[in-house]
Structure 1
């Protein structure tokens, strides 16, 4: 299950802490070896979003949840013969994409996909570039690189999400690979970090 809603709630709660609202950084004091909370050198600071990701990741990994792509969630519902949950998983997955503050994709965006070990396939990663399509209003997703095991090329499975002239080149990797496997970079800054899940 995607935990972006819970992560957002944690982020909002942290942003409301302290005298400056909304807070962008959180400061704290770690206890010294003698238990003195005011000891110098024990001050730490963290970005609100980073602290929220840390909390949410620690919580849900500890609970043993394994994230699924929206398509995998729908497949599980289909196996249970729950048509409502099946349609709900697909609708909610696409809604999470289209409601993201960075959506829609733009030419120049980089899409990184990290896959874990699956059967005979080793863990590997792919990098795609979003580019302007040949027709007005269309975008393409071009494979830039795919590798596993310290840079070894991946044969036969790389580039499955490459597409030319699509209205929404991110919908297929978002729905099939899952938002938890995607990192999207715009203008050198990550706007979606899925690896935390």
Structure 2
């Protein structure tokens, strides 16, 4: 996320350079080139975004792609007609959840999920609270979210709330992915998925 902000700042700065802003292409002379601009290799040109991306990559290294949720990984394997891979991904994700030292969740736990910008949907977060259900299982109810009230693409806010579920975290773990979750128990984080 931070690199994308820096990339945007550098791109905007490059676009505002020179007397003909906003720049759509930036031209330059190769270091050590003489005044003969026509000589091959003396002149270069580039798009502001491409130059900014080059600068950010030189400063911070390659930006790694965000991990996919277990469900998205399984869907990729399914599209590739890799049944063994698909089943393996789903089984592994379930085993990762069930073997976590804080699992199962318990009443009072807070579960926060972070959503990155996707299409026209803004970056936002939701916090759910785990509570005892009416029939012996657990419920997970939406406690708060950071999406503006006038923006909710397709009723997404609160979609992971569940009533009386033996494992209320399962669907969220598979669909959003453990890398997007932070779980807090007794005021202390027990799972920080965004930590790298």
Using structure 1 for the length normalisation, give the TM-score: 0.65
Alignment RMSD (CA, Å): 1.4
Paired residues for 1:82-93 under 5 Å: 82-93=82-93
- Find the counterpart in structure 2 of residue 193 from structure 1: 192
Aligned pair 1:125/2:121, yes or no?
no
Q: Distance in 2 between matches of 1:62 and 1:135?
A: 50
Which residue number corresponds to residue 73 of structure 1?
A: 73
Aligned to 1:14: none
Within 2, Cα distance between the matches of 1:158 and 1:93?
Answer: 24
**SS of 1:143's equivalent?**
strand
Structure 2 equivalent of residue 165 of structure 1: 164
- Equivalent-residue separation in structure 2 for 1:120 and 1:157 (angstroms): 13
Distance 1:170 1:162 in 2: 9
Write the deviation string for residues 98-129 of structure 1: whole angstroms up to 9, x where unpaired.
Answer: 00000001000000000000111011100000
User: What is the distance in 2 between the residues matched to 1:166 and 1:185?
Assistant: 19
- Counterpart of 2:139 in structure 1 is 140
Quote the residue 2:13 is aligned against. Answer: none
Using the size of structure 2 for normalisation, the TM-score is: 0.65
Cα distance in 2 between the residues matched to 1:99 and 1:176? 18
Query: Does 122-131 or 61-70 show the bigger shift?
Result: 61-70
> Unaligned stretches of 5+ in structure 2?
1-60
Shift of 1:62: 4.6
Query: Post-superposition, which runs of at least 4 consecutive aligned residues in structure 1 deviate over 3 A?
Result: none
How many residue pairs match? The answer is: 133
After superposition, the C-alpha distances for 1:114-159 in whole angstroms (9 at most, x for unaligned) are 00001110111000000000012x00000011113xxx23522100
Structure scoring higher RCO (CA < 8 A, sep ≥ 6) equals 1
